[in-house]
Structure 1
Amino acid sequence: MTATAIITNGKVVTPKGVVEGEIEITAGKISNIAATIPRKDHLEVIDAKGQYILPGMIDTHVHINEPGRTDWEGFETGSKALAAGGVTAYIDMPLNALPATTTKEALEKKITLASGKNYIDYAFYGGLTPDNLDNLEELADGGAIAYKCFLSTYQTDIPGDFKSIDDYMLLEGMKRIAALGKILLIHCENDQVTDGLERQKVREGKTSAYDFVDSRPILAEVEAVSRVILFAKATGCPVHIVHVSSAEAVTLIEKAKLEGVNITLESCPHYFALNADDLARIGPVAKCQPPLRYPKEQEALWECLLQGKIDWVSSDHSPCTSDLKQGSIFEAHGGISGAQNSVDVMFDLAVNKRGMSVVDFANLIACQPAKRFSLLEKGEISEGYDADLILIDPSLSYTVCAEGLYYKNPHSPYIGMEIGARVTKTFLRGELVFSIEEGIVGEPKGKSILNSVPVVGA
C-alpha cells in the first residue's frame, strides 16, 4: 500500500519514550516511525512543530443520550465535542438514553442510530439492572463491550429508564458476567448512607453546596468499593470502579490488586481541576456524584495519580438541558459536561504544572483503557496501530468559552477557565477530523468497534 501522509517536526510520544521524529500513515495505520522518512511527491506533510504527537484519548465513560433524550446530547454533537477535545474513541454508557441499554433490542436501536453520525469511533456498554439478569448474555452477543451498574440510588418513574441494584442483584449479576468473561463497571456509593444524609440535610434546611458534598461522604464511596471487592473475590468477576473521587478508595483498590483481584479504576478530570470550593462558586453546573471533594482530599487524590495508582481518566461526560441545572444544589440534575476539555485540562495540570511525564500521560488517557477493554490496535503510537492521533501545543493558552463548545447544551464548569495547553488537531485513522483553524472537518467518519473486541479472561 502507498503511504498517504507524514507528520513531521513533532515530539512523538511512544510507549518506550518520546521520539523527535516523524510518523508515516498508510491506509489509516501507523506504518513507520523514524527520525526522518523519505518524501514522495504524493505525500501530505503535516507540520507539528513545537507540539507533542499523542495517541487520541479513549474516553471510557460518556453519556450520549440518543434515543429518548437526544435534546440532552446526541451522537453528532457529542462526538464533535469529543473530537475537538482530542478523543478518538469512546464507550457509551447504558443510562440516560430511553430506553436504557439493558436489552438486545435497545442495544440494536443504539447501534442503528449511531451509524453515520459519529465523528470518532465508538462502542457500547450494556446495563445491569434489577430486571435484566436474563438479558446479559444477549447483550454480549449483540456487541456490548462490558456492563455498568449503580450501587447509589438511580430511580425514576419513566418507563425504560435505568435503575440501580441491590446486593443480591450485584452478586448474581457478577456471577453471570464472570461466566461471560466480561467486565462490570460500578458506580460505588452506599445508597442508604447518601439517601439518609440527603433527607437529613434538606429537613434541617442545610442546602448549600458544602452540605451537598457532606451528604455524599468519602465513607459512602469506600464502603461500596469494599463490598464490590468482597463480591469480586467470591465470583471472580473482573470489575472496574468508575469516577473514583478519594484517595481512600484508591488505596483500597490498590490493596485488592495486590491480593489478586481483577480490578481497575478510573477518575475524572473534574476531580483534579475543581473542588468543593468551586462547586460553591459555580453552582449546579459543577454538581456530580460522587461530589467534588474538599481541597485537602483533592490533593491526596493528586498524589495517587502522580504515583501511578489510578489506571486512567475518563470524562464522565453527563450532559443535560440547561434548565435541569437550575434550582437548589440537591434538586438540580447531577452530571458534568466536560468531554471537550479532558485532554487539555489534564495535560496542563498534570504535565505542565505537576511534572508528569508525557509517556505516563499517554498511558493515562489512551494506552491503559485500550488494554483493559482489548481495543485492538488502538491506544498507542506504534507501527500497525490505527493512526488515531492528536497534536497538543503545550504552551498554547486559551480561555474556555461557551461559544467554542460543541455540546447540544453548551454549559460546563470549565467555562472561564484559562488552560495552558491546547489540542490543535485530531486525526481518526489518519484523517483530520478537527483543527483549531477549521473546527470539525468533513463528514462523520467514526466506526463501531464492537466487533473488534474479544472476550476478556476472568
Structure 2
Amino acid sequence: MSSACDLVIRGQRVLTGGGFVPAAVAVRGGRIAAIEPIDATLAARDDVVLPPDQVLIPGLVDTHVHVNEPGRTDWEGFASATLAAAAGGVTTIIDMPLNSLPPTCTVSALEQKRRAAGPKASVDVGFWGGAIPANRGNLRELHDAGVFGFKAFLSPSGVPEFPHLSLSQLEAAADEIAAFDGLLLVHAEDPAVLESAANGGGDAYRDFVASRPDRSETDAVGHVIETVRRTGVRAHILHLSSAAALPQLAAARAEGLPITVETCPHYLFFSAEQIGDGETAFKCCPPIRSAANRDLLWQGLESGVIDLIASDHSPSTRALKLGHGGDFGLAWGGISGLQLSLAAVWTAAAERGIPLERVLGWMSVAPAGLAGLPTKGRITVGADADLVAFAPAESFTVDVSRLRHKNPISAFDGATLTGRVQRTWLAGASVYAVDDGIAGVPLGVLRRPCP
C-alpha cells in the first residue's frame, strides 16, 4: 500500500468471502483498505498478530435489541447494552421501538433516542420505528427521518403505550409501508388463540407453554402471509419459536412473497425439558419449546427457511423478572442474552457439525442485509472495519454477575459455552479487550442509508 494504515490485523484464519484464510487486514479511516497475504509488508500505527487459537471474524449485527432508554433505564440503557454488545462481538445493534418512554413512534421520539444513545454508545446503534394505531398515516415521515423499518404486534405487547394492531390495522399499515418500500416487522402471536389458551398462571413451566401454543404462531404467521400477498409489503417475522410455522413459511417463500424470518439463541440452545417450575428467568414470548422443536428450528436455518438469528435481548429489573414467586403469569417475559448470543449459538451449532462461517452468515451477513447495511457484517475491502478476534475452542461458564448488561439476570447463568470474544474493534478502534474490558467509547448512531 502507498501510505500508512491505522491498523493491521494478521491472523492464520481470517473469514473473507473465500472462507477462512491466512491474511493481513489493513484498516484506514475506519474502513478495510486492503486484505493482503499474512506476511505482507504494511506500515501501520498498530500491527496486531492474533495467536493461533483465535480467528478474525466480522462484527455481528444484532437487529433485535431492547435498550429501553429513555424512560426505563432501570431495566437497561445504551451504556450498559452497548458494552454488553461489544463484549459479545456485536458491533451494530438495531434498537426496538418499545419499551422506552416514549416509544419510537414519532420523529420527536426518534430524536430523543438519538440524543440518549449518542454520548453513551460503544457500538453502532440504529433504530426501528413502531407501527401502532395512533401513528397510522404518519409512518412515511418516520421512515424519512431514518428508522430502518416498523415493528408491529398482533397481540398485546406487555406495555400500554405500545398497543397491538388488529388485522385490519395491520393491513392498513402494510399498505402505507409498501408505498415507500419500507419493511414491516411483526411479533406474530394471534390474540384470539392466546385468549382461548389462557390459564391461571402459576409456577408450572408446562402450563406457561400451553398458554402460548404453537397455533398462536402458526395462525399469526398465516395472517402476515395473507397481508403480504394482498399488499406486497416486505415483511419480517420476529423471534420464531414454533417450528410448526416452517412449512407455511417455506410455501410463502416458494410463492415468491417477500418474507424473511428470524429465530433467537435461546430457542436454539435451550429446550422446555431443561426448564424447571418457577424458573422465570427463562420466560419469553413466544416461549422456549421442546427439544424436538429446537431441532426443527435448526433444520429451518440450514434449509434457508429461517434467514437469521437475533438476540431479542429484552431485559428488566430483578423484581419484574424474579419477584413473583416463580409465577410465569406475572413475571416479565424476556431473555437477557446480548453478550452471549455468539457463544450460545456457536456452542449448539458445533455440536451439530455446523461450521462457524454458517453461524456468522446468520448473525452478521443476513441481519446486515435485513437492515440494509451493505458495509456491515463482512470482511471485504471497503467494508466498515468492525472486527472481532474470537477464540472458537475456548470454553467458559457464564457468571451473570460478570456480564455487562445492567441487571444481573440471564437464563444463561451457569451454562457452559464454547467460544469467547477476545477483542472487538469498531471502525478500527478497539472497544473491548478481554483482559481490560472496554477500551474506548466512540460515538455510533446509525441512520438508515438513503436509497
Q: TM-score, normalised by structure 2?
A: 0.95
Instruction: State the one-letter code of the partner of 1:94.
Output: P
Instruction: State the one-letter code of the partner of 1:225.
Output: V
Q: CA RMSD in A?
A: 1.6
Q: Distance in 2 between matches of 1:43 and 1:356?
A: 37
Matched position secondary structure for 1:384:
coil
Instruction: State the one-letter code of the partner of 2:334.
Output: G
Instruction: State the one-letter code of the partner of 1:186.
Output: V
- Determine whether 1:450 maps to 2:450: no
Counterpart position of 2:405: 407
Q: Share of identical aligned residues, percent?
A: 38
Counterpart position of 1:6: 8
Counterpart position of 2:329: 330
Contact kept, 8 Å, 1:51 with 1:394, in 2: the verdict is yes
- How much does 1:240 deviate? 0.4
- Determine whether 1:77 maps to 2:76: no
Q: Distance in 2 between matches of 1:346 and 1:305?
A: 12
1:27 to 26, 29, 45: 29
Cα deviation digits, residues 363-396 of structure 1 (max 9, x gap): 1111111122211311111011011111111111
Cα deviation digits, residues 382-415 of structure 1 (max 9, x gap): 0110111111111111111022111110110101
Count of aligned positions: 445
Instruction: State the one-letter code of the partner of 1:341.
Output: L
1:261 to 244, 252, 257: 257
1:92 to 88, 92, 95: 95
- How much does 1:151 deviate? 0.7
- Change in Cα spacing, 1:321 to 1:155, as seen in structure 2 (3 Å) is closer
- Change in Cα spacing, 1:420 to 1:155, as seen in structure 2 (3 Å) is closer
- Determine whether 1:169 maps to 2:169: yes
Q: Distance in 2 between matches of 1:86 and 1:446?
A: 17
1:59-78 to structure 2, matched below 5 A, reads 59-78=62-81
Cα deviation digits, residues 174-199 of structure 1 (max 9, x gap): 0000012110000001111112312x
1:269-308 to structure 2, matched below 5 A, reads 269-280=265-276, 283-308=279-304
Matched position secondary structure for 2:64:
strand
**Further displaced range: 72-81 or 251-260:** 251-260
Matched position secondary structure for 1:448:
coil
Q: Distance in 2 between matches of 1:424 and 1:417?
A: 19
- How much does 1:10 deviate? 3.4
1:180-219 to structure 2, matched below 5 A, reads 180-198=180-198, 201-202=199-200, 207-219=203-215
1:100-119 to structure 2, matched below 5 A, reads 100-119=103-122
**Further displaced range: 18-27 or 415-424:** 18-27
Contact kept, 8 Å, 1:155 with 1:164, in 2: the verdict is no
Matched position secondary structure for 2:385:
coil
Q: Distance in 2 between matches of 1:406 and 1:30?
A: 28
What 5-or-longer segments of structure 1 have no aligned partner?
A: none
Cα deviation digits, residues 151-210 of structure 1 (max 9, x gap): 1222545xxx21111011100000000012110000001111112312xx21xx765111
Q: Distance in 2 between matches of 1:310 and 1:125?
A: 21
Counterpart position of 1:429: 427
2:364 to 363, 366, 373: 366
Q: TM-score, normalised by structure 1?
A: 0.94
- How much does 1:2 deviate? 2.6
Q: Distance in 2 between matches of 1:349 and 1:314?
A: 15
Matched position secondary structure for 2:275:
helix
- How much does 1:42 deviate? 4.3
- Determine whether 1:16 maps to 2:32: no
Counterpart position of 1:235: 231
What 5-or-longer segments of structure 2 have no aligned partner?
A: none
Contact kept, 8 Å, 1:14 with 1:359, in 2: the verdict is no
